[in-house]
Amino acid sequence: VDIDWEFPNAADRANCTTLMQELRDELPASRWIIAMAIPADPRSWGVGFDVPALAPILDFINVMTYDLYGAW
């Protein structure tokens, strides 16, 4: 299961973590992989995603890097 919660706001931060925990509780790790897509910009993580709380719940965190660009 790969969740892509687009544009969560500060009020959704706890809801996002709660949803992921409820999914993990219902979908056993022995049979299900749970992943979540998050933006690449870490400044946006604190707004809608509690990455330290999500990390132990999820099997994978997919970082959406397609909006990154530069002269490197």
Active site residues: 6
Please name which of 13, 27, 12, 11 lies closest in space to residue 2, comparing C-alpha atoms. Answer: 27
Please name which of 38, 36, 25, 27 lies closest in space to residue 59, comparing C-alpha atoms. Answer: 36
**Phi, psi at 70, each rounded to 5°:** 175, -175
- Which of helix, strand or coil describes residue 48? helix
